[in-house]
Chains A and B, each alone.
Chain A
């Protein structure tokens, strides 16, 4: 299902967080949302999964404004995997976590039917979590947990996936495994990614946010230019398609662009490696 974000403005505590942000993803696209910390990426995602009401502008999933849909109807279209630290999942098994994805398909009196068990089982198989399906979620490794959360999202049978830093803190193999899983779903995806090289590899299109506004948007090679990487991210790097067809971001020997260097503690032992 296509996603259209049109002229979005978001204000939190009278501070503008997003200014005039527009983006679109066609059905089946994987769109990457990149930008420095605090540029408004997670805020933009919140407007998409209907957690934050924009001050102005509209988010459409399919043809409908998400705020015209009920919370449950919106959640039947859009599933999200987030960096959520507030919960307490102690005592829930992997299967029980994945089954949470069926919640938007039921009212208060709804009971699980064969359709629910099928969707849960299918999601468990697709994400390869069957071997530990009956284990306590709290006992899993970071990579296993993210696969479980992705399975929960797939159990929602969504037509749009929203992913916030899905691969953070994961080892390199777990990262590539997750990327393969996302591509295999075929679902339209909006993914916040910190790793630019990973974003270049995964996404059809990138949207770069800087200070709450879109700095650039389009195909990866058009967006991640040396100028933009220096201006927005403060690093010297080049982006190019290699002989094997993969687009890679290559950071310069001295990657820190002048004038954008983070204010580091002078006595920090790391500093001598940076400059």
Chain B
């Protein structure tokens, strides 16, 4: 993380970064001589790197949980429609501009509400006679995702080119706008929901045995699924709201961890959070160094970098046959 903070449009020596961060966190040492350096490191780079880590962790954990909840290896916030809900919310505010601002909604708040709305719809349409069936949930998520996508496309047609560029950057995701004010809330939500989800680790393992077997193992499958869906929607909504629609992380990081260390959720969830955090910090670092001083959206790089490694791992693993 320290290295990630030091590199960017302006490269700051690693030693100086240490000094500045240490000074701010612990009050030790002296304030840096150069206020511009301090400004870059502490007010721009550090929150950005922290946010990348938190968002990466949140997305990866949601993916891991959703894949088990709907018993589908392809599940992630995108497939279940959460991301498209958030996108519609964000795009509406971006294109309506002043109108939505009057309603007191920022892009982040609208994206959060969009994700939660999508989650609520999936929840409502994915059940029949009070039972949340996995296949029904996935299909409801995909269908709802398409509806949100259509609405988003329609809104985009009416947008100005400038707005469209903003929309595109939002949809591909970025943590460039990170501010210290966002960090406490987002970090708290990610930490608390991840900790809660980790508590369900043993029950998530039981869910892998199938619904009937899980019931015979003493798990109230329907209630567990409901709780996990609500926590997942909350977690996704929070991270997408601040970082936009970053794909791939939620889908692939959990599989990477499963392929290397197994599927026991009590190990899987913490490791997934860790790897998701490290991965997004790394991707963000590359996004602002590959094409200096311009920045690339995260969504372009997440898959471009991760997919080849994932495919290599997939070929090496025999357990999937």
- Please report A residues at the B interface, Cβ cutoff 8 Å: 46, 49-51, 70-76, 78-80, 82, 84-93, 96-97, 100-101, 103-104, 106, 108-110, 136, 138-139, 152, 156, 162
Contacts and interface: CB of A to CB of B under 8 A. Distances in A.
A13 B150 CA distance: 36
Contacts of A88: 68, 71-73, 208
A96 B262 contact: yes
Contacts of A49: 215-216
Contacts of A82: 210, 212-213, 216
Contacts of B210: 82, 84-87
Closest A-B pairs by Cβ, 5 of them: A75-B218, A91-B263, A87-B210, A84-B210, A104-B218
Contacts, number: 105
Contacts of B16: none
Contact of A108 (B72, B199, B213, B264): B199
Nearest to A105: B218
A95 to B, nearest CB: 10
Contacts of A76: 218
B262 A92 contact: yes
B319 A100 contact: no
Residue in A46, A86, A110 with the greatest tally of chain B CB atoms within 10 Å = A86
B278 interface: no
B76 to A, nearest CB: 15
Q: In which size bucket is the chain B interface?
A: 20 to 34
Nearest to A80: B216
A191 to B, nearest CB: 14
B24 interface: no
13 contacts: A49-B216, A50-B216, A75-B218, A80-B216, A82-B216, A86-B134, A87-B214, A90-B263, A91-B259, A91-B263, A103-B202, A108-B199, A138-B319
A168 to B, nearest CB: 15
A86 B211 contact: yes
B208 to A, nearest CB: 5
Contact of B211 (A84, A101, A104): A84
Contacts of B134: 86
A245 to B, nearest CB: 34
Given A136-B319, A139-B318, 14 more contacts: A79-B216, A80-B213, A84-B210, A84-B212, A88-B71, A90-B73, A90-B319, A92-B208, A93-B262, A101-B217, A103-B205, A109-B199, A138-B319, A138-B320
Nearest to B268: A91
Contacts of A136: 319
Contacts of B320: 90, 138
Given A86-B211, A138-B319, A139-B319, A92 B199 contact: no
B181 to A, nearest CB: 33
A85 B212 CA distance: 9
A96 B205 contact: yes
Residue in A49, A87, A96 with the greatest tally of chain B CB atoms within 10 Å = A87
Contacts of A73: 218
Interface in B59-108: 68, 71-73
B258 interface: yes
